[in-house]
Amino acid sequence: MADINSDATIGQILMNRYRLTELIGKGSMGRVYLAADTLLGGVPVAVKFLSQSLMNERMKVRFAQEARAGALLGQKTIHVVRVIDYGVNADEVPFYVMEYLKGENLSDMIMIEPLPIPRFIRLMRHICLGLQVAHEGVMLEGKNCPIIHRDIKPSNALVVPDASMGELAKVLDFGIAKFLSDNLGSSQTQSFMGTLAYCSPEQIEGRELDGRSDIYSLGITMYEMLTGRMPLQAESHSIGSWFKAHHFQQPIPLAIAAPDLVIPKELNELIMACMAKSREERPQRVAEMIAVLEFLEERYGFNRTSNPETLSVPAPLPTAPSMPQAALQSVEETAWQAQWPTDKPRAEIVFASTIHAQRESAATVWVMLPRNEIDRRMLNTRYNQFLFTMSPHPMMLWITALYDPEQGARWLPCYLDLKIPRNQEVALLLASNGYYPLLFFALEDPEHCTNVITLTIATFQRQLLRDWVQTSKSLSSAAPPSVSRNLLKTELEKCKPQILEKLQQTRRNVFG
């Protein structure tokens, strides 16, 4: 198996879309690369790979959960780094694609000097808002699943310039996030994962966690943000030493750690309460913390929308996102909010449609499958192709396939009568956009979209689509559309062995 750290990694193109350009970070769960989204003209994105030292089936499942958490949470709040896509690379190493944000790591910021209280309150409120959404949960397999981050610390918060708010804090790295509903085995509950200096007493014991564990970590993070120091000191960097510190050592009072700091009484009490040894003595929900922070903003005049110059933000405001990137994000967000049409049966069917987002319209494929198959197919190889017949009636076959050697292929064909204007619009949207979202709906919970993946279209096929629409407008029909549909069905069956051979050969050459 090739090493993803080798020079050969740089320049690789993932999913015919993301070209890796630079290694920009690494952690216990894997490495992060800067990449260019070639579909959107080189827009920068971040790609995170699962560490090869963690390459077992359980960790692959957990890594996929991380991707799903980032995707689902990113739809609900601007205070979580958004996941765009995910798949596997040439060595079958899972990866996911995130928005790339030019900002400053909170850990690096406070290494220079502690934060002034107004800026601290603003950024901590953002972090709490992101965690609140995670704790409230996301819909997975038809159930609401709260997510516990389990590794809250300054280095897992990113501060980015924002045109409307001056600056914005986002929570990142849900890499060891605990889904309260997960069933990966009892050993997962008993094992320790996290950062020793920030973990709660119950976390270092390996006990079952809830949101109050993150609140403890937030208390230590807040303390460090204001003082530049840690509230607890362990004798050594070992689990045993930190176990003693978190269980028996009392935090150094803020007045001693930072004697020149004038801190509101309510804020001091909040920070100390968050670091209580017993979770029953901490704030029980992040919403309680947000209420205190908002009270402080109002009472002490800490304006949420302060001008960035008054906050001493060194980085300039970013330029507006490019139209292609903003348009694609708008389309994907609209797709996530889609509901299964009332005029379609709740069955294993596939059909083409259009969605209209704020910035752009897009052609889409909608499919309903059993939930367990949707989950299994998320890391499949994706394939598309278009076929067209002019006679006896202008008809296009839009083929989407999901493939895995063990699962085989799932074929998702859509037949479009190109004499119908709305289908001509679909074909032209495919040609102009160069991509389309594939929307998944679960048979068990058909009301809401379960997942969205975006597929790209080859340049030569985009031109063919334009040509087919123009040709169809001038053609006369010599038979009912069903005749051409049946012809294309037969052609698809002929093509399947060739497509499968191509997919299998690709995996032997690329994934072998």
Final residue before a domain boundary, out of 267, 289, 319: 319
The pLDDT value recorded for residue 313 is 31
In the chain, % of residues over pLDDT 90: 47
Count of the separate structural domains present in the chain: 3
Instruction: Kindly state whether residues 108 and 82 are assigned to the same domain.
Output: no
Q: Is 277 marked as a binding-site residue?
A: no
Element (H, E) at 432: helix 421-433
Identify the CATH number of the domain in which residue 289 sits: 1.10.510.10
Each residue's pLDDT tens digit, 181-206: 454 443 344 456 678 999 999 999 98
Residue 190, judged by CB atoms within 10 A of its CB (0-12, 13-18, 19+), counts as exposed
Instruction: Kindly state whether residues 308 and 333 are assigned to the same domain.
Output: no
Instruction: Kindly state whether residues 179 and 285 are assigned to the same domain.
Output: yes
Element (H, E) at 417: strand 408-417
Final residue before a domain boundary, out of 100, 130, 165: 100
Length of the chain: 512
Final residue before a domain boundary, out of 70, 100, 130: 100
Instruction: Kindly state whether residues 381 and 311 are assigned to the same domain.
Output: no
Identify the CATH number of the domain in which residue 38 sits: 3.30.200.20
Residue 215 and residue 275 in contact, taking contact as beta carbons nearer than 8 Å: no
Predicted structure pTM score: 0.63
Instruction: Kindly state whether residues 411 and 295 are assigned to the same domain.
Output: no
**Residue of 400, 385, 413 whose CA lies nearest to 486:** 413
Give catalytic residue positions.
151
Each residue's pLDDT tens digit, 106-159: 999 999 899 999 999 999 999 999 999 999 988 766 778 888 998 999 999 999
How far apart are the C-alpha atoms of 492 and 407, rounded to whole Å?
20
Instruction: Kindly state whether residues 386 and 309 are assigned to the same domain.
Output: no
Residue range of the domain that includes 391:
324-510
Instruction: Kindly state whether residues 273 and 345 are assigned to the same domain.
Output: no
Q: How confident is the model at residue 484 (pLDDT cuts 50, 70, 90)?
A: very high
Instruction: Kindly state whether residues 69 and 165 are assigned to the same domain.
Output: no
Each residue's pLDDT tens digit, 193-243: 678 999 999 999 988 899 999 999 999 999 999 999 999 999 888 999 999
Q: Is it the case that residue 395 has pLDDT exceeding 70?
A: yes
Instruction: Kindly state whether residues 311 and 388 are assigned to the same domain.
Output: no
Residue 200 and residue 212 in contact, taking contact as beta carbons nearer than 8 Å: yes
Instruction: Kindly state whether residues 56 and 149 are assigned to the same domain.
Output: no
How far apart are the C-alpha atoms of 335 and 337, rounded to whole Å?
5
Instruction: Kindly state whether residues 344 and 469 are assigned to the same domain.
Output: yes
Instruction: Kindly state whether residues 190 and 66 are assigned to the same domain.
Output: no
